[in-house]
Structure 1
Amino acid sequence: MPGTTRLLCLAASALLAGLAAPPSPAAAHDLPRTYVVSKAPGVLPEGIAIDHDGTMYVSSDGTGALYRGSVRDPQLRPFPAAGTADRPSSLGVHTDGTGRVYSVGGVELTVHDRHGRLLTTRTAQGGPLGPSHLNDLVITDDAVYVTDWANPVVHRAALRHGVLGPLEPWLDIRSAFPQFPAQYWLLNGIVADRSGTTLLVASNGTEAVWRVDVATRDVAQVDLGGASFGADGMLLRGRTLYAVLNYAAPSGVYVAELDTQLRTGSVIHRITGEPFDLPTTLARYGCRLYVVNSQNDEPPGEPPYTVSAIDDPMCAPPGRTR
């Protein structure tokens, strides 16, 4: 969630009543628990992605920079991503199966190779409320879907043989809740099932996660037992939804088990308090969750800016399977 507009959620609330083998147990035990993204002032980390080889990328809401490191090294370093120097903010960041790095900030979606060479730039057209403020993205076999913090819109760029098409408005999500004010949807995290036929989209403003059928564009709220669930970043693994909450609930990692259609579920784990410092999103590698500490509640925060690694509560103990 962008730090500069986070307080808009207060107005909204008043209107509502890994592909590679994971590290061995011994190796995982020796991995750092805290990763320093940067010690430079004003970085305010926001997004995170971990590639199949353990390479970690973290974006900066405060400066627009990208940082790169490894799950084996507690210190990240600037990632020389060409063409992002003038982007004041970078939010969502993800990698694909070839190691390319996708990131969004402002009105731009950019794609870099692992060396930082700029491969593609796509610019969002805006939405019903004006210019876009792209927030997060998910990559499927045939498209990239991007949420828009400033508009109640999900954008889409077709993906064919590694070539990215134009980034175009694809879904106006207001159809699911037309009486809710357009400016307070505040779309955040977005994830897809393995087939790419179902999306889950988080909305801070509605304090809910919305299920989107890609073929029909039908939208329905995911029923999580009536609990407020205005997630920021999310991660979907099978039927397990990992989400970071930092608004209308204690900040931390929430884990929900969903039904096979991803329509209903219940929260089965809540991890709050230390070591988090206004977490925004998370990534998974092996049996660990990597959680970004944004410090966006008190910008520009206080260096160092960090990522915290915690044990995944959904991992089975040795000798047991889930």
Structure 2
Amino acid sequence: MPGTARLVRLGASVLLVGLAAVPAPAVARQLPDTYVVSRSPGVLPEGIAIGRDGTMYVSSDGTGALYRGNVRDPRLRPFRAEGVEGRPSTLGVHTDPRGRIFSVGGAELTVHDRAGRLLASRAAQDGPLGAPDLNDLVITKDAVYVTDWANPVVHRAEIHGGTLGPLLPWLDIRSAFPQFPAQYWLLNGIVADEEGTTLLVASNGTEAVWRVDVATRETGHLDLGGASFGADGMLLRGRTLYAVLNYGAPSGVYIAELDEGLRAGSVTHRITGEPFDLPTTLARHGCRLYVVNSQNDEPPGKPPYTVSAIQDPVCERSENSRTYP
């Protein structure tokens, strides 16, 4: 049972202690605007993560596969990750500072090293509405928090001394809004502040983002001026919230500036239309945003399946975001 599963230590022999520095080319060069995840039918990309060295991982909702590339190269290739061969769908994917790859699909959370070796696998328990459908995750210094599309539940796996604990139900988010029908919560993106003390959880069903105090589990509505904000994937940098919307508002990237307590804010940028094709989530590297084009509105979509790169309009760096130094 997940609740009584023995803790499994992530072996030190396969953990990365740091990312190797990448030598800079002598001359700056253009970075691609479009990345091809795959040309195989039915891939339907969903999640994305980019490490400090520019390594990019993209997940497949259609096949469960993971793909890997680099921001300098317009083509991704299959990432051979142990233990996910039978997983029909992989959604959220993120990396930690050690370069480990965390991903979720169905009821399973997995952790791999950069060679694709399986370091840990955790199964979520059934929720109040039945079997879990894990959607996205965020990694803090002491835990992994995972949203559940099929249940109004945030799951949590503790990280302690290199050990990943069992994945357990941590918060039934209906406690903040009990009058809303549970089957329509549709929990999606999740982010945390730098200290890991505050979570922001997106809900398609309520067309809102919810703020959760980790210590008390107190949950409240993030006030963004009353606009529909049922985000899919999200990214938080300081007090800047980046979100991909594809429901309840025109599809695209929305950027909001939040107050110090992450309780309220206002949308400052809306980037919609081209080049997006039902975007689901995004990552940031340098002064660029990398947005997944899922094509999930008309499955199985039409190859090639892509990621679009756009300039971050709030980036403080002065250099051209399309060049790599």
Shift of 1:318: 2.5
Preserved contact between residue 244 and residue 280 of structure 1 (Cα < 8 Å): yes
Per-residue deviation at 1:27?
7.5
CA deviations on 1:276-306 (whole Å, 9 max, x unpaired) are 0000000000000000000000000000000
1:92 partner amino acid: G
Q: Distance in 2 between matches of 1:218 and 1:20?
A: 40
Paired with 1:22 and 1:223, the residues of 2 have a C-alpha distance of 41
Question: Equivalent residue for 1:58?
Answer: 58
Counterpart for residue 48 of structure 2: 48
Equivalent residue for 1:164?
164
Aligned pairs, number: 300
Cα distance change, pair 65–311 in 1 and its aligned pair in 2 (3 A): same
Does structure 1 retain, via aligned residues, the 8 Å contact 2:22–2:53?
Answer: no
Equivalences for residues 101-140 of structure 1 within 5 A: 101-140=101-140
2:8 maps to what in 1?
A: none
**1:280 pairs with 2:280:** yes
**Equivalent residue for 1:76?**
76
**Cα separation, partners in 2 of 1:28 and 1:166, compared to 1, 3 Å:** farther
Question: Aligned runs of 1:207-246 on 2, under 5 Å?
Answer: 207-246=207-246
**Counterpart contact for 1:21–1:286, Cα < 8 Å:** no
Is the contact between residue 240 and residue 257 of structure 2 (CA under 8 Å) also seen in structure 1? yes
Q: CA 1:276–1:109 in structure 2 vs 1: closer, same or farther (change >3 Å)?
A: same
Q: TM-score, normalised by structure 1?
A: 0.90
Shift of 1:316: 3.0
Q: C-alpha displacement at 1:163, in angstroms?
A: 1.2
User: What is the TM-score of this pair, normalised by structure 2?
Assistant: 0.90
**Partners of 1:22 and 1:286 within 8 A in 2:** no
* Contact in 2 for aligned 1:56/1:68 (Cα 8 Å): yes
Task: Tell me how far 1:161 sits from its aligned partner.
Answer: 1.8
- Structure 1 segments, 4+ long, off by >2 Å, are 19-24, 26-29, 316-319
Task: Output the amino acid matched with 1:273.
Answer: G
Query: What is the distance in 1 between the residues matched to 2:139 and 2:119?
Result: 16
- Look up the equivalent residue of 2:66 and give its one-letter code: L
Aligned equivalent of 2:91: 91
Task: Quote the residue 2:145 is aligned against.
Answer: 145
* Inter-partner Cα distance in structure 2 for 1:111 and 1:27: 36
Instruction: Give the Cα–Cα distance (whole angstroms) in 2 for the partners of residues 34 and 161 of structure 1.
Output: 39
What amino acid is the match of 1:135?
A: N
> In structure 1, what is the equivalent of residue 197 of structure 2?
197
1:29-68 Cα shifts (integer Å, max 9, x gaps): 6100000000000000000000111000000000000000
User: In structure 1, how many angstroms separate the alpha carbons of the residues matched to 2:20 and 2:316?
Assistant: 18
Alignment correspondent of 1:173: 173
Q: Quick one: distance in 1 between partners of 2:39 and 2:318?
A: 37
> Contact (CA 8 Å) 2:100, 2:111: kept in 1 or not?
yes
CA distance in 1, matches of 2:317, 2:20: 20
- Structure 2 stretches of 5 or more lacking a match? 1-18, 320-325
Could you say what the CA RMSD is over the residues aligned between the two structures, in angstroms?
A: 1.8
